[in-house]
Amino acid sequence: MADKKKLYIRTYGCQMNVYDSERMAEALGAGKDGYELTENLEAADMILMNTCHIREKAAEKIYSELGRFKGLKTAKPDLKIGVAGCVAQAEGAEIMRRQPAVDLVVGPQTYHRLPEMMQAVAKGEKALDTDFPEEDKFENLPVRPKVKRAPAAFLTVQEGCDKFCAFCVVPYTRGAEVSRPTARILSEARALVERGVREITLLGQNVNAYIADGITLAGLIHQLAEIDGLARIRFTTSHPNDMGDDLIAAFGTCDKLMPYLHLPVQSGSDKILKRMNRSHSAAQYLQVLERIRAVRPDILISGDFIVGFPEETDADFQATLDLIRAVNYGQAYSFKYSSRPGTPAAERALVDADVADARLQELQALLSVQQKAAQDAMVGREVSVLFEKPGRLKGQMIGKSQHLHAVFVAIPDGPDAPVVGDLRRVRITESSANSLGGVLID
């Protein structure tokens, strides 16, 4: 029997792309002529780049990578090259024009059509599909294979964004907000749990805007919590304006909902928030967090920040630092503003690049002090750890705490030693640069 053809996927961008890459691999893997995944670029018969358009650097990197892949094609003329994800959606046919070695371009809402597109590609044609189709792609993807899974999984429940922040490409690349039916999500979650998953992170560009047949994200979380064997639930990414009362309450009532919330704010200046079209003030954001902390005092807050947005003054930047001091973040992601074609802010004058660089450094210095302090504060505490993989040292395993800290645990030999997928109590004994160390308690 001939060997199966090999597929190499490289994923950029957010967790939704990680989930989409899994589903694309499944779509391309189905059937007797399907591809199997390889980690070895040179062995690939097809290379698929699942791309991100959020900042200019992310998008431009794709073209330099494609330039490298073109060389592989010279040595292996049958090699197929595909571009998926948000750059595919935003640039479409332009990608094939800039890099003629590309055979296929598919947007985030049409990858269920990959098998048909590949038939055209096999005949030597180019295939392009960046529609926003009527049909639900999830209903048209193959049933997920019954293979053993890693203990932590992503599950997309909502896609798209109607918020139109002035800097952001996502509403254009992913389309309007759409929520998947609750029953479908529950059955996908049950199937994941049957295959070894203990922790599910619900994904959406605006996951807390989830609403399907009157069921909100909080309602969905409560239903998921009833699945035996599912130990932990998380969700990301949320918008402050969609933090409903029932979702806030869920942090106090649902034990399986982990005490971690990624709630981007972008800026602490009301003037800038307005110009970003965020439709909330700094004070409103702080109030939401205060209410969540009232029901879940140990919650770890994570955020996203943009510095150097057009017309950001020193005073605006100071307001962002003040907000960061008021919140005390346990985790954060921060970026220099990148002007994106087609977004409203793209027309506006840029802040001086050196000024923006200096602000980013100052902001990141403050955030890293806060992150380290949150991590150090775990030393001496008992946490629960979901073991995800063996460590590099013998007798060591790595897992994640409730607060999403990576924890390295020394495992004594014996019948009681945990295996991947186990949840165990651990006492934290040390805090290093980016992780914690601990010992088993029971």
**Binding site residues, ligand SAH, CB under 6 A:** 54-55, 167-168, 170, 205-206, 237, 239, 264, 266, 304, 306, 335, 337-338, 340
Cα Rg for the chain, rounded, in angstroms?
23
156 binds ligand SF4 (CB under 6 A): no
HSE (side-chain half, CA atoms, 13 Å) at 227: 26
**Closest Cα partner for 83 from 168, 9, 4, 160?**
9
In sequence order, the β-bridge partners of residue 50 are 11, 84
Judged by CB under 6 A, the stretch of 156-164, 254-262, 287-295, 352-360 that binds ligand SF4 is 156-164
Q: Which of 27, 168, 220, 233 binds ligand SF4 (CB under 6 A)?
A: 168
Judged by CB under 6 A, the stretch of 2-10, 52-60, 126-134, 355-363 that binds ligand F3S is 52-60
Nearer to ligand SF4, 168 or 299 (CB): 168
Residue 173 interacting partner from ligand SF4, ligand F3S, ligand SAH, none (CB closer than 5 to 8 Å by kind): ligand F3S
Q: Smallest gap, in angstroms, from Cβ of residue 337 to ligand SAH?
A: 5
Tell me how far apart the alpha carbons of residues 151 and 198 are, in angstroms, rounded to a whole number. 5
Tell me how far apart the alpha carbons of residues 169 and 343 are, in angstroms, rounded to a whole number. 7
428 binds ligand SF4 (CB under 6 A): no
Alpha carbon distances (Å) from 41 to 27, 73, 107, 129, 203: 20, 11, 23, 25, 29
Q: Which of 24, 44, 104, 161 binds ligand SF4 (CB under 6 A)?
A: 161
In sequence order, the β-bridge partners of residue 384 are 425
Residue 17 interacting partner from ligand SAH, ligand SF4, ligand F3S, none (CB closer than 5 to 8 Å by kind): ligand F3S
49 binds ligand F3S (CB under 6 A): no
Nearer to ligand SAH, 170 or 243 (CB): 170
Judged by CB under 6 A, the stretch of 36-44, 47-55, 309-317, 386-394 that binds ligand F3S is 47-55
Q: Which of 55, 239, 262, 340 binds ligand SF4 (CB under 6 A)?
A: 239
Residue 164 interacting partner from ligand F3S, ligand SAH, ligand SF4, none (CB closer than 5 to 8 Å by kind): ligand SF4
Alpha carbon distances (Å) from 84 to 104, 322, 393: 8, 40, 37
Answer yes or no: are the C-beta atoms of 399 and 407 closer than 8 Å. yes
H or E stretch including 173? helix 170-173
Q: Which of 165, 197, 212, 272 binds ligand SF4 (CB under 6 A)?
A: 165
Residues 183-212 that bind ligand SF4 (CB under 6 A): 205-206
Q: Smallest gap, in angstroms, from Cβ of residue 206 to ligand SF4?
A: 6
User: Ramachandran region of residue 317, left (φ > 0), alpha (ψ -120 to 50) or beta?
Assistant: alpha
User: Which residue has its beta carbon closest to ligand F3S?
Assistant: 13
296 binds ligand SF4 (CB under 6 A): no
Q: Catalogue the long-range contacts made by 352-360 (C-beta closer than 8 Å, 24 or more residues apart).
A: 353/308, 355/308, 356/307, 356/308, 359/307, 359/308, 359/312, 359/317, 360/307, 360/308, 360/334, 360/335, 360/336
H or E stretch including 423? strand 423-431
267 binds ligand SF4 (CB under 6 A): no
Tell me how far apart the alpha carbons of residues 253 and 257 are, in angstroms, rounded to a whole number. 9
Which pair of structure tokens corresponds to residue 205?
């560009």
Which stretches of the chain bind ligand F3S, using CB under 6 A?
13-14, 16-17, 52-54, 85-86, 169-170, 173-174, 205
